[in-house]
Copies of this chain bind each other. A is one copy, B any other.
């Protein structure tokens, strides 16, 4: 392997001078710099991070630890956000997923330590509380899409499910809907309760009574193997005599079934029933016709800002373990009718 020494020899300088050129340090003549850079190019020299780390004990590497990667497919945008940040800031990303096993999680923390990473991004693919298995380790950590269960030691960054559901509910109310159905997300998911709360509160504040709201459970059970009642529940809801004029559901995937249920009953969307989702899972929200009005989860930004937050934590801004929250943007399409 071509090292700093071969370059130094080729350029006729000391290895330290080569090091200076590589790291853009001052006190190198333009002429020397050029000679060294030429040697670097000629020899195809590439710095050895391992050696650098050994010397300076700063790896410039962040670790991502996730649970599953694919439960809600678009949530991988979190990872994309992190990677884009890393790329822009010259950091390297080490990635591992636990698959839900806490033994494996412990191993991953060990692995991270053995690579002397600077910080950890603890990411979950659906919003929930977690309990990191870091042991007595003290690597700076930022939680993305989740929050610590027990202590408040780690800063976190999450989507604002409450605000998203609030906006969506207001949107329906503003358009004259007074009887609204709500099909609940799996209660395991932290977002489920928040979205429902926002819906109830917003509708209540507006003057609707509990009897105007038809609230039903759409899914339950362990993530990835849940029981799915959405189609049945939606069908039932839409067969009532005083059926809701609008249905809101826990997420966009569920709305597929709501659409199909409505259409199977001969109802037109949005003329006979308006529908809104949640997530802006575009594979679905754009495939449905009419296209789905929904609230977009800020996955990409969670990643981007999470990485940035971690960076400042690593740099020593220990200010306060802040718990940031990112807005969900309402995406208006054509699945809602004004009454």
Contacts and interface: CB of A to CB of B under 8 A. Distances in A.
Contact of A46 (B92, B110, B284): B110
A202 interface: no
A283 to B, nearest CB: 5
A70 interface: yes
A26 interface: no
B48 A114 contact: yes
Number of copies: 2
Contact of A283 (B51, B104, B253): B253
Contacts of A115: 49-50, 92
Given A83-B97, A111-B92, A287-B253, A54 B50 contact: yes
10 contacts: A44-B136, A46-B113, A46-B114, A54-B54, A83-B95, A87-B96, A92-B111, A95-B95, A263-B263, A283-B283
Given A48-B116, A253-B283, 14 more contacts: A47-B114, A48-B114, A49-B50, A50-B115, A54-B54, A70-B76, A80-B97, A87-B104, A93-B94, A93-B95, A231-B289, A254-B287, A257-B289, A283-B283
Closest 3 A/B residue pairs (Cβ)? A73-B73, A263-B263, A50-B50
Interface of A: 1, 44, 46-51, 53-54, 57, 59, 68-70, 73-74, 76-77, 79-80, 83-84, 86-87, 92-97, 99, 104, 107, 110-111, 113-116, 136, 228, 230-231, 253-254, 256-257, 259-261, 263-264, 266, 281, 283-284, 286-289
